[in-house]
């Protein structure tokens, strides 16, 4: 297949040809022909390309500059403020089986529908072709990833969250061992949000190592390398006998001792994962997704898939999260999403200061008391408002953040939002017992997921991203542990236990002894 010459100039075409990979050319050609953008721009690792993406996002109105240098804000539409489980489906071939908890559909039917939705969807817009690495570059953890999108914001956000991967594609030497993602925000409203968000679709095609997402901008749905790549990597990990997990990676440094012990931890969204990874005095490698593989010494090693944080900003304040707060309130490259803007300054819920009574937010011009179509009061900022930064910008970034060998794991923590059953801390009796504790994890859903809050069974905090039968997933965990010469200890935690009066347990004790469970 050939890319139509009227869509791509020689400079951009040469960037693709330099990869010497016919699979990349075929993918770009197919979706250029189907989506019919006005032009194609190829983004490499050059500073000039990075500056072009940032400038385009501002020019397109997907981001707007704030008063502080490097800071921008982005809004998603009213119906596009979280991961949409109802329209996120795994495409499975006829006759294949999937666990009932996994939302799936016939592969042929899904691909046909996606072709129909993508037809001419980029007309008049620019298609960006960008290359990234999941995991440290030039590493046994790294997976090359190709992103096609009509959103400069998506490419900009991914450039903060993920390592550049143009060189990774050169090292593929023509093979098709990579993930690819096709995204379109679709038709846009005047405020540059997806006009047809009610018709969004997110389809995961395991056989094609690809994900489609249309009519959505929220990063959890549109950034291919975020939770969409997590699903593809879970399938890959089970084919290759390693673990792909919804986990932070952090270093614990005992006071007065010159050593670091590394932990991973799986928590559902908005249940303390980032805050745990950011405990004062410790170091952070990652706050969301980890790959775990067995090293030559028989130990488990973990690497952060990402190089950045797409974190919930609610309650980030100078008392509870001083390191993140200082980072977000000083000059550097930061994207704020779905916060309140007043006089070119961002405001969010729980930031530790009084919020303005009016401003601009995801609903448009906002005043205190404004309601939505259902009569519900619209808060000044969304509860799922976010910030996007590079981990390297944090004072407590671990020196092994980009170590291609990963870090040795000595402990694994599972935790959820359980108000009335789970004890604060439990240590497993063995690896199989620890897998059991992770498998029975229950948690209340939060604003990170669209829909009414409810308590759900969420094994390893990974059920939303599961693409293999749950039994297969758990068997792989058991096998992984049995293959280790030195197994990490496994713990379960619950920061949200309440008493019979509905009060958090920390309200009964000295906070110097028991930290606020909502913030740890």
Q: Cβ(285)–Cβ(401) under 8 Å? A: yes
CB-CB neighbours of 47 under 10 Å: 7
- Nearest one of 210, 179, 186, 202 to 121, comparing CA atoms: 186
Structure tokens at 501: 């009066």
Q: Cβ(63)–Cβ(156) under 8 Å? A: yes
Look at the alpha carbons of 457, 228, 431, 251 in this order and tell me if their dihedral is positive or negative: negative
The DSSP H or E segment spanning 243 is strand 243-245
Return left, alpha or beta for 369; rule: phi > 0 is left, psi -120 to 50 is alpha, else beta. left
CATH of 243-308+394-508, one of 3.90.228.20, 3.50.50.60, 3.30.70.260, 3.40.640.10: 3.90.228.20
DSSP conformation class of 228: I
Cα distance between residue 243 and residue 281, in whole Å: 28
Structure tokens at 446: 């939060």
Q: Phi, psi at residue 309, to the nearest 5°?
A: -130, 130
- Nearest one of 112, 197, 127 to 450, comparing CA atoms: 197
- Nearest one of 52, 62, 78 to 335, comparing CA atoms: 62
- Distances in whole angstroms, Cα of residue 55 to Cα of each of 49, 70, 102, 123, 431: 10, 12, 39, 21, 50
Structure tokens at 391: 């981990």
Cα distance between residue 496 and residue 473, in whole Å: 27
CB-CB neighbours of 488 under 10 Å: 23
Q: Is 243-308+394-508 in the same CATH topology as 10-62+83-240? A: no
- Nearest one of 245, 211, 219 to 141, comparing CA atoms: 245
Cα distance between residue 352 and residue 330, in whole Å: 16
Q: Would you write out the chain's pLDDT as a tens digit for each of its 520 residues?
A: 688 889 999 999 999 999 999 999 999 999 999 999 999 999 999 999 999 999 999 999 999 999 999 999 999 999 999 989 899 999 999 988 887 878 999 999 999 999 999 999 999 999 999 999 999 999 999 999 999 999 999 999 999 999 999 999 999 999 999 999 999 999 999 889 999 999 999 999 999 999 999 999 999 999 999 999 999 999 999 999 999 999 999 999 988 888 999 999 999 877 888 889 998 899 999 999 999 999 999 999 999 999 999 999 999 999 988 999 999 999 999 999 999 999 999 999 999 999 999 999 999 999 999 999 999 999 999 999 999 999 999 999 999 999 999 999 999 999 988 888 888 899 999 999 999 999 999 887 655 555 555 578 899 999 889 999 899 999 999 999 999 999 999 999 988 888 777 787 754 444 333 344 334 3
Beta-ladder partners of 144:
133, 178
Q: Cβ(205)–Cβ(111) under 8 Å? A: yes
Cα distance between residue 441 and residue 473, in whole Å: 15
Structure tokens at 251: 């270093």
Q: Cβ(386)–Cβ(348) under 8 Å? A: no
Domain assignments of the chain as residue spans, ordered by start: 10-62+83-240, 243-308+394-508
The fold of the 10-62+83-240 domain, in CATH, is Phosphoenolpyruvate Carboxykinase; domain 1 (3.40.449)
- Nearest one of 461, 451, 504 to 274, comparing CA atoms: 461
Active-site choice (87, 271, 289, 394): 271
Any residues with CB less than 8 A from the CB of 115 and at least 6 apart, and which? 34
- The yes-or-no answer on residue 244 being catalytic is no
**CA 388 to chain CA centroid, nearest Å:** 10
Helix ranges restricted to H, 370-429: none
Here the contacts of 42-49 (C-beta below 8 Å, separation 24 or greater) are: 42/8, 42/12, 42/13, 42/15, 42/16, 42/129, 43/128, 43/129, 43/130, 43/131, 43/155, 44/15, 44/131, 44/164, 44/166, 45/131, 45/164, 45/166, 45/167
């Amino acid at each position: 297949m050939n890319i139509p010459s009227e869509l791509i100039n020689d400079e951009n075409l040469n960037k693709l040809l330099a990869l010497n990979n016919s699979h990349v050319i075929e993918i770009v050609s197919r979706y250029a022909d189907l989506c019919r953008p006005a032009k194609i721009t190829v983004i490499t690792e050059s500073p000039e390309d990075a500056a072009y993406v940032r400038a385009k996002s501002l020019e397109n109105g997907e981001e707007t500059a704030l008063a502080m240098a490097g800071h921008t804000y982005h809004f998603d539409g009213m119906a596009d403020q979280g991961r949409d489980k109802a329209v996120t489906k795994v495409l499975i071939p006829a006759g294949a089986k999937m666990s009932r908890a996994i939302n799936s559909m016939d592969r042929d039917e899904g691909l046909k529908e996606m072709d129909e939705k993508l037809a001419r969807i980029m007309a008049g817009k620019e298609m960006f072709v960008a290359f990234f690495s999941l995991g440290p570059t030039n590493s046994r953890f790294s997976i090359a990833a190709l992103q096609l999108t009509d959103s400069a914001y998506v490419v900009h956000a991914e450039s903060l969250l993920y390592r550049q991967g143009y060189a990774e594609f050169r090292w593929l030497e023509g093979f098709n061992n990579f993930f690819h993602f096709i995204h379109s925000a679709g038709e846009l409203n005047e405020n540059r949000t997806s006009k047809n968000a009610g018709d969004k679709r997110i389809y995961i095609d395991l056989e094609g190592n690809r994900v489609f997402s249309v009519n959505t901008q929220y990063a959890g749905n549109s950034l291919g390398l975020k939770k969409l790549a997590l699903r593809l990597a879970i399938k890959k990990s089970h084919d290759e006998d390693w673990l792909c997990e919804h986990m932070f990676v952090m270093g614990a440094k005992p006071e007065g001792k010159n050593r670091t012990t590394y932990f991973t931890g799986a928590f559902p969204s908005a249940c303390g994962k980032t805050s745990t990874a950011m405990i004062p005095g410790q170091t952070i490698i990652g706050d969301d997704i980890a790959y775990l593989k067995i090293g030559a010494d028989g130990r488990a090693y973990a690497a952060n898939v990402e190089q950045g944080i797409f974190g919930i900003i609610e309650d980030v304040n100078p008392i509870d999260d001083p390191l993140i707060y200082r980072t977000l309130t000083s000059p550097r490259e930061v994207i704020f999403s779905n916060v309140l803007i007043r006089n070119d300054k961002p405001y969010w819920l729980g930031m530790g200061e009084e919020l303005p009574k009016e401003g601009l937010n995801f609903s448009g011009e906002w005043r205190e008391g404004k309601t939505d179509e259902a009569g519900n009061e619209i808060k000044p900022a969304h509860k799922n408002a976010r910030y996007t930064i590079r981990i390297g910008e944090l004072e407590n970034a671990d020196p092994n953040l980009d170590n291609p060998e990963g870090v040795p794991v000595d402990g694994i923590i599972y935790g959820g939002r359980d108000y009335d059953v789970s004890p604060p801390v439990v240590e497993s009796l063995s690896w199989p017992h620890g897998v059991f504790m992770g498998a029975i994890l229950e948690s209340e859903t939060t604003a990170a997921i669209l829909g009414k809050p409810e308590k759900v069974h969420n094994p390893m905090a990974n059920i939303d991203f599961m693409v293999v039968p749950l039994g297969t997933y758990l068997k792989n965990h058991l096998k992984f542990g049995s293959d280790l010469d030195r197994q990490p200890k496994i713990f379960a935690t619950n920061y949200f236990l309440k008493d019979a009066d509905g009060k958090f347990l920390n309200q009964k004790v000295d906070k110097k002894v028991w930290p606020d469970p909502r913030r740890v």
